[in-house]
Amino acid sequence: MFDDLFSLKDRIAVVTGGGRGIGKMIAGGFVARGAKVYITSRSEEECQATAQELGPNCISAPGDISSQEDIDQLVARIKDNEGQLDLLVNNAGAAWGAPFAEYPMHGWDKVMALNVRSPFFLIQAFHPLLCANATADCPSKVINVSSVDGLRISAHETYAYQASKAALNHLTRRLAARLIEDHIVVNCIAPGAFPTKINRAVRDRADELASHIPAKRVGRLEDIVGPAVFLASKAGNYVVGETLAVDGGLTYASYDAFNLAALEV
Ligand SMILES: NC(=O)c1ccc[n+]([C@@H]2O[C@H](COP(=O)([O-])OP(=O)(O)OC[C@H]3O[C@@H](n4cnc5c(N)ncnc54)[C@H](OP(=O)(O)O)[C@@H]3O)[C@@H](O)[C@H]2O)c1
């Protein structure tokens, strides 16, 4: 009964922004559990290098997922090659920081387009393929990747980013309510501090920042893979519309969440 609880054997997955960082970690974790994973990123080179590194069950599918044309191309490719999609991870994201008085509209639009609009329209475009193989006992899964910055404010002047991640948390619940009707389970992971390109502070000052985190360290590969595999597999089938903070206690186990030195970007 428990043998296949965390298995992703033969599941077809798409991980946006899978070329590096958290998306690459999730893609690698899914491949290790038996899934066939398509990864996207704008950089064709990075996408291909990562697919090669993760092995034959990881396939490079480069494109800009903030563009409807590229979304349509990606969906057509999965439709032609697989005829179904079991797991969609909306991980690609961008941040923009600027002082309040100078915060530019083009930065705002770029962040909102990628972090909120793209997940919605990807889910919409993939809906027929997500329905194709989904049943009440074996639902398809959507996992959005937001941020702890969408659960509480951070001191950084990343206004659009923080609003976009809060919007994604809320959108997760709204879509979960609609899509459970079609046996598609929608959840969200809100990472804390992981050393990646988007989060230079964590990458460059991990030891210093670790002292502000209740768990006394920044996030690691297994910290993000575990929750992603849990939500994607049978183990997570009855968790619906949840936003799971994966942050070493920063959000829910800290006395000082609002005054902490900002850990992102
Ligand atoms: N690292 C953290 O501490 C942290 C904390 C909270 C939340 N998060 C969230 O985790 C997610 C992943 O971030 P990360 O830390 O792994 O950052 P990252 O290393 O910068 O990775 C971002 C990925 O998204 C891709 N991407 C960006 N724009 C894209 C577009 N328009 N179309 C397709 N792919 C695009 C990037 O590739 P290209 O540039 O080649 O397109 C890259 O593969 C983001 O949503 C981020 O907000 C991260």
Taking residue 99's Cβ as centre, other Cβ atoms within 10 Å add up to 8
Q: How confident is the model at residue 240 (pLDDT cuts 50, 70, 90)?
A: very high
Give the mutation target among 24, 148, 196, 265 for probing the ligand 1 site: most ligand atoms within 8 A of CB: 196
Ligand 1, atom 21, residue with closest C-alpha: 21
On the question of pLDDT at 262 being above 60, the answer is no
Task: Give me the active site residues, please.
Answer: 161
- Domain-located, residue 37: yes
- Domain-located, residue 263: no
- If we measure between CA atoms, which residue out of 176, 178, 194 comes closest to residue 186? 176
Q: What is the pLDDT of residue 255?
A: 84
- Domain-located, residue 257: no
Q: What angle do CA 128, 133, 141 make, to 5 degrees?
A: 80
CA of 135 to the centre of ligand 1 (A): 31
Q: Structure tokens of 61?
A: 């599918």
What mean pLDDT do residues 185-210 have? 91
Q: Domain limits at 230?
A: 12-246
Q: What is the pLDDT of residue 264?
A: 53
- Which value, to the nearest 10 degrees, does the dihedral of the CA atoms of residues 232, 238, 240, 245 take? -70
Ligand 1 interacting residues, C-beta cut-off 6 A: 16-17, 19-23, 40-43, 46, 64-66, 91-94, 114, 145, 147, 191, 193-194, 196-199, 202, 264
- Domain-located, residue 253: no
**Structural domain total, the chain:** 1
Atom of ligand 1 nearest to the CA of 115: 45
CA of 133 to the centre of ligand 1 (A): 28
- Domain-located, residue 6: no
Digit-coded pLDDT (tens) for 64-82: 999 999 999 999 999 999 9
CA of 207 to the centre of ligand 1 (A): 22
Q: What is the pLDDT of residue 1?
A: 82
d(CA 238, CA 142): 13
- Region at 183 (left for phi over 0; alpha for psi -120 to 50; beta for the rest): left
This prediction's pTM: 0.97
Atom of ligand 1 nearest to the CA of 62: 33
Digit-coded pLDDT (tens) for 136-185: 999 999 999 999 999 999 999 999 999 999 999 999 999 999 999 999 99
Q: How confident is the model at residue 199 (pLDDT cuts 50, 70, 90)?
A: confident
Distances (CA, A) of 190 to 32, 65, 73, 209: 22, 20, 28, 18
Ligand 1, atom 37, residue with closest C-alpha: 41
Q: Structure tokens of 74?
A: 């990606």
- Domain-located, residue 186: yes
d(CA 64, CA 192): 25
- Domain-located, residue 2: no
Q: What is the pLDDT of residue 198?
A: 83
**What is the domain-level CATH number for residue 213?**
3.40.50.720
Q: How confident is the model at residue 265 (pLDDT cuts 50, 70, 90)?
A: very low
Q: What is the pLDDT of residue 200?
A: 81
Atom of ligand 1 nearest to the CA of 43: 40
On the question of pLDDT at 39 being above 80, the answer is yes
- Domain-located, residue 264: no
